[in-house]
Amino acid sequence: MLLNLDSVPPFYKNYVKQVEETDLIQALRISGHRTLELLHTVPDTKKDFRYAEGKWTIREVLCHMIDAERIFAYRALRFARNDKTALAGWEENEYAPQANASNRSLSKIAAEMAHLRSATIDLYEGFTPEMLSRKGIANNNELSVSVLGFVIAGHEIHHCHILKERYLS
Residue 160 lies inside a defined structural domain of this protein: yes
Query: How many whole angstroms separate alpha carbon 49 and alpha carbon 147?
Result: 32
Structure confidence at residue 3 (pLDDT) = 72
Q: How many domains does the chain have?
A: 1
Residue 50 is assigned to a structural domain of this protein: no
Per-residue CA distances from 65 to 78, 81, 146 (Å): 20, 24, 19
Kind of pairing between the strands at 141-144 and 135-138: antiparallel
pLDDT above 70 coverage of the chain, percent = 99
- Confidence (pLDDT) at 4: 80
User: What are the pLDDT digits (tens) for 72-128?
Assistant: 999 999 999 999 999 999 999 999 999 999 999 999 999 999 999 999 999 999 999
CATH of the domain at 33: 1.20.120.450
Q: Give yes or no for residue 2 having a pLDDT over 60.
A: no
Which structural domain range is residue 163 located in?
5-41+55-167
Least confident of 4-18, 44-58, 81-95: 4-18
Q: Residue 136: helix, strand or coil by DSSP?
A: strand
Question: Residue 117 corresponds to which amino acid?
Answer: R
Tally the C-alpha atoms within 13 A of residue 151's C-alpha that lie toward its C-beta: 24
Residue 46 lies in a domain: no
- 113 domain-assigned: yes
What is the residue-averaged pLDDT of the chain? Answer: 96
Q: What is the pLDDT of residue 45?
A: 96
Reported as a pLDDT band with limits 50, 70 and 90, residue 40 is very high
Backbone angles phi, psi at 125, to 5 degrees: -65, -20
Q: Are 153 and 80 in contact (CB under 8 A)?
A: no
In a domain, 146, yes or no: yes
**Any idea what the Cα angle at residue 28 is, between residues 25 and 32, rounded to 5°?**
145
pLDDT at residue 1 greater than cutoff 60: no
Q: Interior CA angle at 40 toward 37 and 44, to 5°?
A: 155
Is residue 11 assigned to a domain? yes
Residue 18 lies in a domain: yes
67 vs 85: CA distance, rounded Å: 21
Helical packing angle, 58-80 and 106-125, nearest 10° = 20
Q: Is 123 inside any structural domain? A: yes
Instruction: Give backbone dihedrals phi and psi of 54, rounded to 5 degrees, phi first.
Output: 85, -5
